[in-house]
Structure 1
Amino acid sequence: MKNGLEDVVAAETQLSHVDGEAGQLIIRGVSLDHLAGHASYEDVVALLFEGLLGPMPDRVELAKRLGEKRAEVFAHVGAIDDALLELPPVDIMRALIARLPDGEDLDTALRLLAAPAVFLPAALRMKSGEAPVAPTPALSHAADILAMLCAKVPSRQEVAALDAYLVTISDHGLNASTFASRVVASTKAGLTSSVLAAIGALKGPLHGGAPGPVLDMLDAIGTPENAEAWLSDALDHGERLMGFGHRVYRVRDPRADALKGALKRLIAAHPANRDRIRLAEEVEQSALAVLKVRKPDRPLDVNVEFYTALLLDALRFPRDAFTGVFAIGRTVGWIAHAREQALEGRLIRPRSLYVGPLPQQAA
């Protein structure tokens, strides 16, 4: 038995390949290097859904139908009451998704893509005492998310940055939330059930809950000159450096570079956060140097969380919403894996090894 199923192959997939040794991510035959910054979220939806949900509409029709679904699910925002507003944003989002019907067709899938994109901005505005903003179906998915969040049409650079993020985190092999989605799909429960299970796995701090603390770390460090001393002190006290290390990658996480590139392009157009990225780059270099000395036997490099935090912060998402934004992007991968499992797999039912006491034999 391997604790945590380390290196255990539990599924065959055509959706994504994570090469931890080479630091490469391939999504449906296309390298992340090619997708990030070049493909839109709608492009990746078409790429991942192909062959899994019946005939796919062309890109224009797909974007139109996704926009219509955003308008449709906005009606559920009216169910947000004072009790729900006391919950973290990702839990509000999850509660509203639970109102949606289960199914296994393209209509259900597009509704599930639309739901978190609408529910999260609405929940964030209502938690701040502001009225939710209705979707604009004619906008792209990324543009509409930002418009619903900030109540204004976003800039072209902001849309490109969010698109790059959503594309970059759309799928990533058999991670915990994707595995949860496939387990539920193997029971034939339906796509809504699979997505809800995946969100439950995602919100755990060992999976999708870490980007926010990256900003806490940068705030605590304050200036580039403080980086090395602060990081060394954190390691002396047994603390984890947020945004470094990954369960699979033994070299640099390729998603980190994709998001760093998107962030730099955004800041070139909106220079208000220039000092922030300068601090982040100094912290990155100091952390890598300190980790190389302090933990020479462990391959610890920057991961996707580090530049995720900076990018989403620059787009004005509050840090307690980062897990929910991750869910917006990853839902397409969860749905694709769920359909692949339902179409080609069996009921997932591994064995456990009993290590408890045995009944005492009668004398």
Structure 2
Amino acid sequence: MTAKEVCEALNISRQTLYAYVSRGKVRASAQKSDARKSLYHTHDVDALIANKKRGRSRRAIAKSTQNFGEPVLKSEISHIDQGKLYYKGQDAIKLSQTKTFEDIAKLLINVDLEPDVDQKFDLIKGRNSFERMFAATAEITISKNTPPNKNTNSFIIKRLLAAICNTNTLSDEPIHMQLAKYFSDSIDFIDVTRRCLVLCADHELNPSAYTARIAASTDARTPACILAALSTFSGTKHGSMTSMARWWVGRATMKDDHQEAAFIKTIKSPPGFGHPIYAQTDPRTQELLKHFEIPEGWERISRHVSKTYKIYPNLDFSLAAMEKSFKLRPKTGQTLFAFGRLLGWIAHAEEQRKNGALIRPRSWN
């Protein structure tokens, strides 16, 4: 929305609008056609209108906890401001240009992931890498042999890495290189994997991170918090959206011009497009798509969807495009997403545990 449209919708002055922006109530992004002008997030404006209408009764607040509303929890792990993602106050996009998974582990959870080529792991059964990651997390959760204290997080990360790569030993190479070599023979995929892991590390209080915090608030062990988060992540509205995006965009590219337009209009929220947090394109998507060749027809579909629905590609789109471009096995994008996000889940669990508060909402009827 333009400034004029926002002011008319909220019946406020330009000065009040700017005050809302400075306090984070309304997000602003520069217009692509004119960087001197701003557009304002429609979702934020709608939320302010809804707040005014419903007041602040307990029932109204409870109802607002769903769909990108409250609760709002204080966190120092990551935040999104003016369409940019930050980890511990550092620009995540800039971090992804040079940093590794190990660097972000040090930043978010203060863990040094030193190589340990002598450590042995049991092989995990599973049809694909994501299933093996899931199974390994469940195994650690019920095991009594997890190392205590600061070694726990390092052990969990290495155990899941071994499960994903279907091996019982790890090399002394950087983690992104081990993953890239397992999934692809392409040298170009090595750096793309590094960038992918960094960009996926955390994203405010997304559903899986919030689930990890709920588990941690009950004093559940870290592996149990990760298992809870991973279960949430597996849903089709979260991590599994990557596979859905690959299928849907792939289908769309197979249509002729007339069929393509009709196909796109059959669904208002195509998988891989739109994100309520961002007024325009997900910055993680923009950055990742710069570093590999977008599959034939995918850019055309992206433009068509954006023109039809005014929604833009999100992280699921870029991960699905990555899978297609490098001819990767199914679930690879979802697995890399989850493994990168592992750092965020651990960080949120630890932060909530230090907070000491039990997360226990009330219901209403």
**TM-score of the alignment, normalized to the shorter chain, above 0.5:** yes
Q: Which residue of 1 aligns with 2:232?
A: 201
Q: Is the 8 A contact 1:313 1:319 kept in 2?
A: no
Distance 1:279 1:147, change over 3 A: same
The equivalences for 1:52-131 within 5 A come to: 62-63=112-113, 65=114, 67-68=115-116, 72=119, 75-77=121-123, 79-80=124-125, 84-85=126-127, 89-100=129-140, 101=143, 105-122=149-166
Once the two structures are superposed, residues 321-361 of structure 1 have per-residue CA deviations (whole angstroms, 9 ceiling, x without a partner) of 432221111000100111111112411111111x2xxxxxx
Segments of 5+ residues of structure 1 without an aligned counterpart are 51-55, 57-61, 123-131, 268-275, 293-299, 356-363
| Matched letter for residue 148 of structure 1 | Y
- SS of alignment partner, residue 71 of structure 2: coil
Distance in structure 2 (CA, Å) of the matches to 1:3 and 1:49? 28
RMSD over equivalenced CA pairs, Å: 2.5
Q: Which residue of 2 aligns with 1:237?
A: 266
Distance in structure 1 (CA, Å) of the matches to 2:319 and 2:242? 6
Once the two structures are superposed, residues 245-283 of structure 1 have per-residue CA deviations (whole angstroms, 9 ceiling, x without a partner) of 1132222111111111232xxx4xxxxxxxx53422222
Q: Which residue of 1 aligns with 2:312?
A: 301
1:142 matched to 2:153? The reply is no
1:256 matched to 2:296? The reply is no
| Matched letter for residue 7 of structure 1 | G
Distance in structure 2 (CA, Å) of the matches to 1:339 and 1:260? 32
How far the C-alpha of 1:111 sits from its partner, in A, is 1.6
Q: Is the 8 A contact 1:23 1:249 kept in 2?
A: yes
The equivalences for 1:20-31 within 5 A come to: 22-31=82-91
Shifted more, 88-97 versus 179-188: the winner is: 88-97
How far the C-alpha of 1:91 sits from its partner, in A, is 3.3
Q: Is the 8 A contact 1:256 1:304 kept in 2?
A: yes
Once the two structures are superposed, residues 220-258 of structure 1 have per-residue CA deviations (whole angstroms, 9 ceiling, x without a partner) of 2336x83x5444313443363221111322221111111
Q: Is the 8 A contact 2:285 2:318 kept in 1?
A: yes
- SS of alignment partner, residue 291 of structure 2: helix
1:247 matched to 2:280? The reply is no
Q: Which residue of 2 aligns with 1:191?
A: 222
| Matched letter for residue 121 of structure 2 | A
Distance 1:133 1:339, change over 3 A: closer
Structure 1 residue ranges, 4+ long, deviating more than 4 angstroms after superposition: 101-104
Distance in structure 2 (CA, Å) of the matches to 1:113 and 1:195? 11
Q: Percent identity?
A: 22
Distance in structure 2 (CA, Å) of the matches to 1:202 and 1:219? 23
Distance 1:345 1:257, change over 3 A: farther
Distance 1:304 1:334, change over 3 A: same
Q: Which residue of 2 aligns with 1:361?
A: none
Once the two structures are superposed, residues 135-185 of structure 1 have per-residue CA deviations (whole angstroms, 9 ceiling, x without a partner) of 21x1000111123345x6x62x32211000000010000000000001111
With structure 2 as the length reference, what TM-score do the two structures score? 0.74
Q: Which residue of 2 aligns with 1:59?
A: none
| Matched letter for residue 289 of structure 1 | K
Distance in structure 2 (CA, Å) of the matches to 1:98 and 1:71? 23
Shifted more, 192-201 versus 90-99: the winner is: 90-99
The equivalences for 1:249-328 within 5 A come to: 249-263=278-292, 267=293, 276-292=294-310, 300-328=311-339
Q: Is the 8 A contact 2:129 2:163 kept in 1?
A: no
| Matched letter for residue 335 of structure 1 | I
Q: Is the 8 A contact 1:104 1:190 kept in 2?
A: no
Distance in structure 1 (CA, Å) of the matches to 2:195 and 2:135? 27
Q: Is the 8 A contact 1:97 1:116 kept in 2?
A: yes
Segments of 5+ residues of structure 2 without an aligned counterpart are 1-62
Distance in structure 1 (CA, Å) of the matches to 2:85 and 2:258? 34
Distance 1:329 1:229, change over 3 A: farther
Distance in structure 1 (CA, Å) of the matches to 2:182 and 2:323? 15
Distance 1:4 1:146, change over 3 A: same
Q: Is the 8 A contact 1:309 1:319 kept in 2?
A: no
Distance in structure 2 (CA, Å) of the matches to 1:232 and 1:3? 36
How far the C-alpha of 1:212 sits from its partner, in A, is 1.6
Q: Which residue of 2 aligns with 1:270?
A: none
Distance in structure 1 (CA, Å) of the matches to 2:317 and 2:70? 28
- SS of alignment partner, residue 349 of structure 2: helix
Q: Is the 8 A contact 1:118 1:148 kept in 2?
A: no
- SS of alignment partner, residue 277 of structure 1: coil
- SS of alignment partner, residue 75 of structure 1: coil
